[in-house]
Amino acid sequence: MHLSFLTIQILSALREAAFLFLISSGLTLIFGVLNILNFAHGSLYMLGAYFIFWLTIHFAGPTAFFFALIAAPLGVGLIAMLIEMGLLRRIYVQEEIYQLLLTYSLVLILDDLAKIVFGADYKSISKPACLSGAVHFLGSTVPVYTILVVTAAPVIAVLMWLLLYRTRFGKVVRATSSDREIADALGINMTRIFTLVFGIGAVLGGFAGALAGPVRTVFPTAGDEVIIQSFVVVVIGGLGSLWGAAVGSLLIGALETVGIILFPNFEMALIYLLMVAVLIVRPWGLFGKPIKTRSLSEKNPGMDAREISPVHYSTHPALRYALLVGLLLLPLFAGRYYQYLLSEVFIAALMAVSFNLLLGTTGLLSFGQAAFYGVGAYTVALFLTKTGMGTLPALALGVLASAIAAAVIGIFCIRLTGVHFAMLTLAFGQLLYTVAFKWYGFTGGDNGIQGIPAKPIFLGGHPIDIWSIKGMYYFILVIVWVSVALLRRVRCSPFGATLKAIRENGQRAAYLGLNVKMHQLAAFVIAGAFTGLAGGLYAVMSRSITPDIINWTMSAEPVLITIIGGIYSFAGPAVGAAVFVILNEYIVAWTENWSLVLGLVLLGLVLLLPGGIVGAFNGQARELLVKIRWIKHWAFSKSTESKKPLEDLEPSRT
Amino acid sequence: MAMLELKSVNTFYGRSHILFDVSLSVEKGEVVSLIGRNGAGKSTTFRSIIGLTAPFSGEVTFKGSPIKGLRPHQICRRGVGFVPEDRRCFPDLTVRENLEVVARRQKETPSPWTIEKVYSIFPRLREREKNLGSQLSGGEQQMLTIGRTLMTNPELLLLDEPSEGLAPLVVKMLAEMIIEIRNEGVTVLLAEQNIHFCARVSDRGYVIDKGALRYGGKMSDLISNEEIKEKYLAV
């Protein structure tokens, strides 16, 4: 091996690491102080790249480039501060998932806005002459720009360290990060600190984008890959730790470079494997500290959190049967388009209802449900195309395969809680995704599997055709209805009640002698199995699958659907699925910018209807009940003399 | 004009009613005790004053101007210093940083609190200056939280259960330090379960039970009032 080869590889690893560090340092700073995992950080990176693109077009010359390198991130920081003051600030008192979703809706909005303003095409940014050359270093040619990038990262790291540990502002930030309530009571204006920290984090993300612009191409969804990579970095390093971000970046940068040489095509899989390995050994990351998961009331005592606590109204059985009859009769008067659309709704509903067994019932935010959806879909597709197996046995095997996958993944994931749980499920999901994406010999790689046959189903010897859209509609309706009924049974059983107790307060549940982890694992496996069934049905219905159904954007779907419908009601996710699929269909038909509209809808829901559609409906009903009770109470108390609590207070002044 | 005055304050946590018509007043230069058992409403009274849990109804006035509904940091900047229970010092900051981070000069204080002055009352803190908050003993943490709040130069100090969980010898020292702080011109409202500790440092006290005040008057009268003690303070 030549020395020059080694030099080039090391420098390339360092360059990757430098970009990763610049992005993830902002991410980890924001998490450390605001406790928010900022999904929109990748979009801020993307904005930085677009800003420098715009600036270099309008102002030429080397000094203009350096000016743009400073101005672009500052612009990003300004936008971020406006976002924090206008939107994020309103929901600090809510549960973490709403903050996560708000930043996710920002991804949808910012990415689409960038597309509208700058166009969907790939842009390249020209470097000034003084940075385009190369120098000779240890017998190899090294681009000047690489040297700039590799020096910028440590300089930023040192600056951040100085800011955090050597200035009064830094002390205030660290104090706020360790106990925000006490910091507030001691005269620190948290609101200002939060805005500033969010702004500084955004400046770092924007700077990474501006610096990366000239060497990577710029396009509206450029941030989507970057954000997942920097999640991996901060999770490996430990959320909220600056050193963790540095070490994590170096590890990932090195692994990526080595991976490309040794296992081309599977270097991303290596990275997710590393993340899984680190989280199994050190659940809080290399430099992270365990985050105390606190209940809502503990987190913000006294703050007026809008109440979204679960209240369970059971719908009247007659209503449910009326819905079933309506759906069964529907093909008589609705065309094939609606039958197909509703079949999609049923599959999405099954996925979301089973997902909500984890989120709403057990309190676990799984961000890797697409893994089980994918395992189910791929198992069914492979058995149907490569063997002579019938549809029903293939579906059964799909359920079994995803249950086994959920059991194996679940054993590792349930050791964690909160955002770490979400990140580990995400890592496993992405691991499966990269494997399915590249394993051409087995999964068909990025081509997926085409031409899945729709074999007839034999019921008591009679073949039932599911080839027609109507036949498929009835087939999916029956299976989904039975599955959802089973899931409802699970939720209403004593086992379901135990899961709810674990969500409310896992520690107390454990003190009562419940095996919390076993219950969580069981819920994880049940949810995984039914998600796998939904995936299998999707494979049968669409007759072709691609690895996209395992990507993290697919995992986000049940989360969105559940939030739209309402997490604390059983019917919520099903209602959400109908709204989401149909809305999506119409938005796509109506405008090119469906992700902008979806983002705005999501933003509105998070800000205005934190209980979801069903939750808001239940809330109305509850308000009415409370009022009736209050009026009764008030009428009753009129008749009796109200007792004064201060009756035996002696005069306080003597 | 009283330094601090609460007039029929009612405070809720969510839907549960915690404080019932609490009215009390603290004059400049006094040390006043608020005595009650666990869960009687002492901490909630303090949280209502400092604004961490804003009262639902009633009035809170500090030096004649209403402070109900202000944000905690605004109330702090007006001169109310809050020392939380459970000694919540900033664990990731050193002792010195803990003191520096909240330092704030009030315009009207003639001799402002400085790190040196805090060290002179709590000499032990000087020795542990470079240690992290999380490396201190319970007594040291209590000194640090009091010293930290003094650095905001409060005119009124809200001390929430300072003696809780400390060794008897340390409690005795603490009493002397509170008197020293009073002599520096700081008014103190002290929440305590330990009536003897209160009798040592304060001359007036209130008894709180189940969220309502049950007694208000001289500490010497309270000490001899077996009925009140039996009814509201006996465990």
* CB-neighbour burial class of residue B228 (10 A; exposed 0-12, middle 13-18, buried 19+): buried
Per-residue model confidence (pLDDT) at position A142: 84
Per-residue model confidence (pLDDT) at position A297: 38
What does the pLDDT look like over A402-456, one tens digit per residue? 999 999 999 999 988 888 898 899 999 999 999 998 888 888 888 889 888 888 7
Q: Which residues of A touch B50 (CB under 8 A)?
A: 185
Q: Answer whether residue A468 shows pLDDT above 50.
A: yes
Average predicted confidence (pLDDT) for chain A: 86
Per-residue model confidence (pLDDT) at position A291: 65
Per-residue model confidence (pLDDT) at position A644: 40
Nearest-by-Cβ selection for A187 from B88, B93, B104: B104
Per-residue model confidence (pLDDT) at position A292: 57
Q: Answer whether residue A460 shows pLDDT above 90.
A: no
Per-residue model confidence (pLDDT) at position A628: 64
Per-residue model confidence (pLDDT) at position A623: 64
Q: How confident is the model at residue A301 (pLDDT cuts 50, 70, 90)?
A: very low
Q: How far is A648 from chain B (nearest CA, A)?
A: 6
What does the pLDDT look like over A120-129, one tens digit per residue? 899 888 888 7
Per-residue model confidence (pLDDT) at position A5: 81
Per-residue model confidence (pLDDT) at position A634: 55
Least confident piece of the model among A226-230, A470-474, A638-642, B65-69? A638-642
A301 touches B14 (CB < 8 A): no
Q: How far is B175 from chain A (nearest CA, A)?
A: 23
Q: If you measure CA to CA, which chain A residue comes closest to B91?
A: A178
Q: How far is A182 from chain B (nearest CA, A)?
A: 7
Q: How confident is the model at residue B152 (pLDDT cuts 50, 70, 90)?
A: very high
Q: How far is A492 from chain B (nearest CA, A)?
A: 27
Q: How confident is the model at residue A1 (pLDDT cuts 50, 70, 90)?
A: low
Per-residue model confidence (pLDDT) at position A98: 83
What would the mean pLDDT of A221-235 be, rounded to a whole number?
90
Inspect the interface and report whether the beta carbons of B152 and A186 lie closer than 8 Å: yes
Q: Which residues of B touch A645 (CB under 8 A)?
A: 20-21, 211-212
CB atoms closer than 10 angstroms to residue B112: 15
Q: Answer whether residue A25 shows pLDDT above 90.
A: yes
Q: Is A181 part of the contact surface with chain B (CB cutoff 8 Å)?
A: yes
Q: How confident is the model at residue A44 (pLDDT cuts 50, 70, 90)?
A: very high
Sequence-ordered list of residues with C-beta below 8 angstroms from that of B7, at least 6 positions apart, any chain: B23, B58, B59, B60, B61
What would the mean pLDDT of A33-59 be, rounded to a whole number?
92
Q: How confident is the model at residue A195 (pLDDT cuts 50, 70, 90)?
A: very high
Q: Is A501 part of the contact surface with chain B (CB cutoff 8 Å)?
A: no
Q: Answer whether residue A503 shows pLDDT above 90.
A: no
Q: Answer whether residue B200 shows pLDDT above 50.
A: yes
* CB-neighbour burial class of residue B16 (10 A; exposed 0-12, middle 13-18, buried 19+): exposed
% of residues, chain B, pLDDT over 90: 58
Q: Which residues of B touch A184 (CB under 8 A)?
A: 52, 71-73
Please give the domain boundaries of chain A with CATH numbers for all domains.
11-291 (1.10.3470), 335-557 (no CATH)
Q: Answer whether residue A577 shows pLDDT above 70.
A: yes
Q: Which residues 130-169 in chain A show a CB within 8 A of chain B?
A: 168
Q: Which residues of A touch B72 (CB under 8 A)?
A: 181, 184-185
What would the mean pLDDT of B105-131 be, rounded to a whole number?
85
What does the pLDDT look like over A516-565, one tens digit per residue? 999 999 999 999 999 999 999 999 999 999 999 999 889 989 998 998 88
A32 touches A240 (CB < 8 A): yes
Q: Answer whether residue A389 shows pLDDT above 50.
A: yes
What would the mean pLDDT of A59-88 be, rounded to a whole number?
92
Inspect the interface and report whether the beta carbons of A650 and B218 lie closer than 8 Å: no
Q: Which residues of B touch A301 (CB under 8 A)?
A: 13, 47, 52-53
What does the pLDDT look like over B160-173, one tens digit per residue? 999 888 888 888 88
Helix or strand or coil: residue A253? helix
Q: Answer whether residue B5 shows pLDDT above 50.
A: yes
Nearest-by-Cβ selection for A648 from B23, B104, B214: B214
What would the mean pLDDT of A578-603 be, rounded to a whole number?
88
Per-residue model confidence (pLDDT) at position A118: 92
Q: Answer whether residue A244 shows pLDDT above 60.
A: yes
What would the mean pLDDT of B120-137 be, rounded to a whole number?
91
Per-residue model confidence (pLDDT) at position A654: 32
Q: How far is A89 from chain B (nearest CA, A)?
A: 15
What would the mean pLDDT of A18-33 be, rounded to a whole number?
94
Per-residue model confidence (pLDDT) at position A53: 93
CATH number at residue B40: 3.40.50.300
Both structure tokens of A143: 């681009």
Q: Which residue has the higher pLDDT, B108 or A524?
A: A524
Nearest-by-Cβ selection for A649 from B47, B91, B214: B214
Per-residue model confidence (pLDDT) at position A309: 45
Nearest-by-Cβ selection for A187 from B73, B97, B217: B73
Mutation target among A92, A93, A178, A186 for the B interface, most CBs of B within 10 A = A186
Q: Answer whether residue A592 shows pLDDT above 80.
A: yes
Range of the domain at B165: 4-233
Q: How far is B53 from chain A (nearest CA, A)?
A: 4
Average predicted confidence (pLDDT) for chain B: 90
Q: Answer whether residue A268 shows pLDDT above 90.
A: no
Residue entry with tokens 């979801």: A612
Per-residue model confidence (pLDDT) at position A308: 41
Q: If you measure CA to CA, which chain B residue comes closest to A305?
A: B14
Q: Which residues 287-316 in chain A show a CB within 8 A of chain B?
A: 297, 301-302, 307
User: What is the number of domains present in chain B?
Assistant: 1
Q: Which residue has the higher pLDDT, A347 or A586?
A: A347
Q: Which residue has the higher pLDDT, B108 or A448?
A: A448
Per-residue model confidence (pLDDT) at position A648: 41
Per-residue model confidence (pLDDT) at position B107: 63
Inspect the interface and report whether the beta carbons of B20 and A175 lie closer than 8 Å: no
Sequence-ordered list of residues with C-beta below 8 angstroms from that of A546, at least 6 positions apart, any chain: A446, A447, A448
Q: Answer whether residue A95 shows pLDDT above 80.
A: no
**B187-192 sheet: strands from edge to edge:** B80-83, B156-160, B187-192, B31-35, B204-209, B212-218
What does the pLDDT look like over A598-633, one tens digit per residue? 899 889 888 887 767 777 776 666 666 665 665 566
Q: What's chain A's length in residues?
A: 654
Q: Answer whether residue A652 shows pLDDT above 60.
A: no
Q: Which residues of B touch A164 (CB under 8 A)?
A: none
Per-residue model confidence (pLDDT) at position A55: 92
Helix or strand or coil: residue A485? helix
Q: How far is A497 from chain B (nearest CA, A)?
A: 24
Strand ranges in chain B using DSSP code E only, listed in sequence order: 4-13, 16-26, 31-35, 57-62, 65-66, 80-83, 156-160, 187-192, 204-209, 212-218
What does the pLDDT look like over A140-177, one tens digit per residue? 788 889 899 999 999 999 999 999 999 999 999 999 98
Per-residue model confidence (pLDDT) at position A224: 86
